């Protein structure tokens, strides 16, 4: 009934719409030549970029600034056995433009663990992919025929 064994590939616009609905995702980067994953709160900016706000002195800033990273967020309904996952892959860079920093201070993500010196990091969405699990008997909250 559904291609890909119960998974539906999502278009870029739908991926970005879904990302805007959730507050937390995971950044995937390289740490000592190995993959590392860190959960972070984030905000999707007007241009579709993922923006995070983190300590300027953190190891994470040094690891990701100027690197290609992946950012993943999802929403799962275990009871309905359904949900979605979106991955944004692109270059991460500390935002240095004063006007952009000022705007992000008003509209960007707020730190859940504030530190005295924080920076915004922007991930430009070069590749946006997503999948929706169509499990159980619902799709977008609508009962499906058995």
pLDDT digits (tens, 9 = 90+) for 45-58: 989 999 999 999 99
Asked if residue 44 is part of any domain, the answer here is: yes
DSSP assignment of 35-62, as one string? EEEEEEE-EE-TTS-EEEEEETT-HHHH
Asked if residue 146 is part of any domain, the answer here is: no
The burial of 82, by beta-carbon neighbours within 10 Å (0-12 exposed, 13-18 middle, 19 or more buried), is given as: buried
Asked if residue 141 is part of any domain, the answer here is: no
Q: Is the pLDDT higher at 112 or at 37?
A: 37
Asked if residue 130 is part of any domain, the answer here is: yes
C-alpha–C-alpha distance, residues 20 and 18, integer Å: 5
pLDDT at 2: 46
pTM value > 0.95:
no
Q: Is residue 142 predicted with pLDDT exceeding 60?
A: no
Q: Which domain holds residue 52?
A: 3-135
Asked if residue 124 is part of any domain, the answer here is: yes
For 92-111, how does the pLDDT look when each residue is reduced to its tens digit (9 = 90+)? 999 999 999 999 999 999 98
Confidence of residue 138 (pLDDT cuts 50, 70, 90): very low
Q: How many domains is the chain built from? A: 1
Across 63-85, average pLDDT: 92
């Amino acid at each position: 009934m559904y291609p890909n064994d119960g998974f539906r590939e999502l278009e870029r616009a739908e991926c970005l719409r879904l990302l805007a609905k959730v507050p937390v995702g995971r950044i995937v980067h390289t740490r000592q030549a190995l993959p590392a994953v860190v959960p972070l709160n984030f905000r999707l900016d007007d241009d579709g970029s993922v923006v995070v706000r983190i300590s300027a002195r953190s190891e994470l800033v040094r690891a990701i600034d100027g690197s290609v990273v992946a950012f993943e967020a999802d929403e799962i309904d275990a009871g309905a056995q359904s949900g979605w996952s979106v991955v944004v892959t692109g270059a991460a860079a500390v935002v240095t433009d004063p006007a952009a920093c000022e705007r992000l201070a008003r509209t960007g993500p707020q730190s859940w663990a504030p530190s005295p010196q924080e920076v915004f990091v922007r991930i430009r969405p070069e590749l946006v992919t997503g999948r929706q699990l169509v499990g159980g008997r619902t799709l977008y909250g609508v009962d499906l025929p058995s």
